[in-house]
Amino acid sequence: MSCLLLVSSVAVFAQSRLSDHVVLISIDGFRPDFYQEEKWPAPTMKWMAERGVKAEGVRGVFPSVTYPSHTTLVTGAKPGNHGIYYNSPLSTNGENPGWYWYEKEIKVPTLWDAVQQAGMKSASFIWPVTVDAPIDYNIPEFWYLTGGDRIQPMLDKDTPDGFFEELEREVTGKINPNTFNGDYLNREDRTGEMAAYVLEKYKPNFITLHLIATDHFQHEGGRDGEKVPMALAAADRAIGKIKEAAERAGISDRTTFIITGDHGFVNVHSRLSPNVWLANAGLITAEKTSADWKAVFHTSGAAAFLHLKDSNDKKTLEQVRQVLNDLPEKTKKLFRVVEKEELMAVGADPNAELAIAPVRGIAMSSAAQGNDVVPGSGGTHGYFPDFKDIETGFVAYGAGIKSGLEIQQLGLEDVAPLISALLSLEFEAKDGVLMPGILKQ
């Protein structure tokens, strides 16, 4: 009898949830105009946007780059709280420190933790900061610093062991650097097919999925590069495959799709190298390989964060301020200084003394020698998140979501509380706020 009561209580709890399966899809470099403007080839997400909830824009984090942003999506916390401040940590000895790959580096609970604690299942595909995460079916974004093979590292870190081979056997065929390569759109197809297979076969309660082509080709050709529409169409096709998998599995009416991203994009015409100023002042070597340094700008897309070797070295901090103050007026017009108080308010790296936020069209370079301003091209992100072009998008459709609603703006940190509410998780977001008007009452 006790077993029957337990089964009955679990069934009642499941019925009380707004959704049984949430699919969180991040399109890297996703822009609101992709579903707002007729010219963009995205029929599936536009269909969902008209029948669900869409946002005019989503405010990002600072710096508005991939790894901090994706960690905010699954924690409801800003970088200053979750600890993934940049794509890669600051290197203080000239060696490549790698990227923030390991989930253990996240300082706050994640949605994956909450899903596991609730006795539910999760899956993830090429999501940043997921190596060794508490995810039941996981292909993390990961690569080795030596050698060019991007496939073997993911195979080595899959969960459960043998999961990658299962996907090759049942879904994709043998994957190699030509068939799963960011330079080609077939990577989006295969990622979508992987997620579709797992949703249909294993029916996890929470899926995270990272599609990268729109970012890659906007870096290459800018916001309107010739391959950007093709990249968007490939992402949309991947979403359609997952949607059809839910239909085939008979769980479509209990599945929610949330399509968002990490940042928008800005066209670049020039690059700024603030470490050149520090090298000229003798605060860092031009090669940035010596341990004998006092200050360095850690660049991240279109942002640069000042770090001191000794955080109590007020003399060096004042010297940096003097260096910035003494720059030619024509150079100072290219950026603004973001002071520590503002960095704390926006939830950026608490270890940075200040940051430089350039005007639109200027990207940052880590170079410490040569000219401080050089030509640039393509597109970038990383900017302070206070203007339209750097915003990302948001579409929610399916179980538990209102129909035909457009909202003005939300923050990246507000996505995790929404997913928590849909799945009835025990989860508290450090910075995010639940927008209850999105949910079907």
Q: Can you give the residue ranges of every domain in the chain?
A: 14-265+386-438, 269-376
Distance CA 222, CA 32 (A): 16
Please give the pLDDT value at position 348. 98
CATH number for 269-376 (one of 2.30.30, 3.40.50, 3.30.360, 3.30.1360): it is 3.30.1360
Q: What pLDDT, in 10s, does the model give residues 39-73?
A: 999 999 999 999 999 999 999 999 999 999 999 99
DSSP helix/strand/coil, 322: helix
Q: Looking at domain 14-265+386-438, does it have CATH number 3.40.50.10790?
A: no
Q: Are 428 and 117 in contact (CB under 8 A)?
A: no
DSSP helix/strand/coil, 295: strand
Query: Beta strand 379-380 with 266-267: parallel, antiparallel or unpaired?
Result: antiparallel
Distance CA 251, CA 243 (A): 10
Q: Which amino acid is at 24?
A: L
CB half-sphere exposure, 432, CA atoms < 13 A: 37
Q: What pLDDT, in 10s, does the model give residues 170-208?
A: 999 999 988 899 999 999 999 999 999 999 999 999 999
Question: DSSP string spanning 210-272?
Answer: EE-HHHHHHHHH-TT-TTHHHHHHHHHHHHHHHHHHHHHTT-GGGEEEEEE-S---EE-SEEE
Task: Examine domains 14-265+386-438 and 269-376 and report if their fold is the same.
Answer: no
Q: How confident is the model at residue 95 (pLDDT cuts 50, 70, 90)?
A: confident
Distance CA 130, CA 269 (A): 34
Nearest to 412 by CA among 101, 24, 100: 24
Strands (E), 317-404: 335-339, 354-358, 362-364, 373-375, 379-380, 394-398
Could you count the other beta carbons within 10 Å of the beta carbon of residue 216? 20
Q: What pLDDT, in 10s, does the model give residues 213-253?
A: 999 999 999 999 999 999 999 999 999 999 999 999 999 99
Beta bridge partners of 209: 25, 125
Q: Are 214 and 29 in contact (CB under 8 A)?
A: yes
Q: Are 78 and 84 in contact (CB under 8 A)?
A: no
